[in-house]
């Protein structure tokens, strides 16, 4: 059976962009693949090294969001990166064979440095981001890695590193391929890409009231000023969200908006209602799970032990191939 692996940095509670863009995909993949999903807490340190006080709590938030959304520990191996230190050993070994230009021209890291305004605070660890990511993947000999488009350059580097390793020391690792699923792209309430740092997101864990408030301030068609003005759904953020949460009614909503018989306030209320209805079972499950934090952490402890078995075997093979064991 092919193996799938993916990870997420623990940056806080997940939003519906994560849910529809990644987590729902994990839930599907776990049915067909030998699946490994992990919380990349060491990767969080590449940019958040001054603010480590949030990492443990954020790890728990991600665990709750994953389990509430249907990731099943009976089907998937769920673990925490830092609990499998073999990743970091392999990272070091790989770092010895990676030419400096490969990491220096990494566009994903360059984008992070620019977007987070890191400038001269960008660390040596951040430069090694794709090497650590490579080690996360190949230590499980994963065949497929479900990720977003922004991660593709990292995966190209991973494949280059694998080829270089296999050429120097003999075939050991398969080349991991990205699994780019056609995700619906979820806009935030301001129309930009949904993102925690832009403060335009709707969290899985938000209350119904908070969800409603956020939707009520969402931007719509700027040309639809009065309730009865005809609208242009194709430019409207609320309509884009309706497409995901109001599938059955979408034809009617579009028609009424264009005809000027549906005002934005009513339209938003309707969206908030449908969104809350869709998210209700996940939110209820999350609340339940939050009462059982010890058990949840235990699931990830157990998963980390399982992962560690695989990882330490691969690390041993790696050292044999490199003739240092």
> Contact positions toward ligand TRP, by CB under 6 A?
5-9, 40, 43, 133, 136-137, 145, 147, 151
Task: Please name the residues in contact with 185: beta carbons below 8 A apart, sequence gap of 6 or more.
Answer: 21, 193
Closer Cβ to ligand TRP, 5 or 162, answer by number: 5
Instruction: Output the smallest distance, CB 23 to ligand TRP, in A.
Output: 12
Q: What's the residue count for the chain?
A: 325
DSSP 226-275: STTS---GGG-HHHHHHHHH-GGGHHHHHHHHHHT-S-HHHHHHHHHHHH
The CA distance from 77 to 313, in Å, is 16
- CB-CB neighbours of 285 under 10 Å: 15
* Residue 83: DSSP 8-state: G
Smallest gap from Cβ 193 to ligand TRP, in A, equals: 14
Nearer to ligand TRP, 145 or 315 (CB): 145
Nearer to ligand TRP, 193 or 269 (CB): 193
- Closest approach, Cβ 316 to ligand TRP, in A, equals 21
Task: Tell me what percent of the chain is helix, strand and coil, each rounded to the nearest 5.
Answer: 60, 10, 30
Token digits for 304?
A: 């980390």
- Name the residue nearer to ligand TRP (CB basis): 159 or 224: 159
* Whole-angstrom distance, CA of residue 108 vs CA of residue 5: 19
Judged by beta carbon, residue 5 or residue 267, the one nearer ligand TRP is: 5
The DSSP letter of residue 11 is -
Rounded to the nearest whole angstrom, what is the least distance from the CB of residue 108 to ligand TRP in the complex? 8
Smallest distance from ligand TRP to CB 245, Å: 24
Q: Which residues of 92-129 are buried (b: 16+ CB within 10 A; e: fewer)?
A: ebbbeebeeebbeebebbeebbeeeeeeeebeebbbbb
The CB-of-54 to ligand TRP minimum distance in angstroms stands at: 16
Report the residue number, 76 or 151, with the smaller CB distance to ligand TRP: 151
Q: Nearest approach, Cβ of 87 to ligand TRP (angstroms)?
A: 9
95, 124 contact by CB (below 8 A): no
Identity of the residue, 2 or 320, whose beta carbon is nearer to ligand TRP in the bound complex? 2
């Amino acid at each position: 059976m092919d193996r799938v692996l993916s990870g997420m940095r623990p940056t806080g509670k997940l939003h519906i962009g994560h849910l529809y863009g990644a987590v729902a995909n994990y839930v599907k993949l776990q049915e067909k693949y030998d699946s490994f999903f992990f919380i990349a807490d060491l990767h969080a340190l590449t940019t958040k090294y001054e603010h480590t006080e949030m990492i443990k709590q954020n790890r728990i938030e991600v665990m709750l969001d994953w389990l509430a959304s249907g990731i099943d520990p009976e089907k998937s191996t769920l673990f925490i990166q830092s609990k499998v230190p073999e990743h970091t050993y392999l990272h070091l070994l790989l770092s010895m064979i990676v030419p400096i230009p490969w990491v220096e021209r990494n566009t994903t890291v360059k984008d992070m440095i620019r977007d987070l305004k890191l400038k001269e605070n960008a660390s040596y660890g951040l430069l090694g981001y794709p090497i650590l990511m490579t080690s996360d993947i190949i230590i499980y000999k994963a065949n497929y890695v479900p990720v977003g488009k922004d991660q593709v350059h990292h995966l190209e580097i991973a494949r280059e590193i694998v080829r270089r390793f296999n050429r120097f020391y003999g075939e050991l690792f398969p080349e991991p391929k990205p699994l780019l699923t056609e995700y619906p792209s979820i806009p935030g309430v301001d129309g930009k890409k949904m993102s925690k740092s832009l403060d335009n997101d709707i969290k899985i864990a938000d209350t119904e009231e908070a969800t409603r408030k956020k939707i009520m301030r969402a931007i719509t068609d700027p040309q639809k000023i009065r309730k009865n003005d005809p609208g242009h759904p194709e430019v409207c953020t609320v309509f884009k969200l309706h497409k995901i949460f109001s599938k059955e009614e979408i034809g009617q909503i579009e028609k009424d908006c264009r005809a000027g018989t549906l005002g934005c306030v009513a339209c938003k209320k309707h969206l908030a209602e449908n969104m809350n209805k869709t998210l209700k079972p996940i939110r209820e499950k999350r609340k339940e799970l939050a009462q059982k934090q010890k058990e949840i952490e235990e699931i990830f402890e157990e998963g980390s032990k399982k992962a560690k078995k695989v990882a330490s075997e691969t690390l041993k093979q790696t050292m044999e191939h490199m003739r240092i064991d």
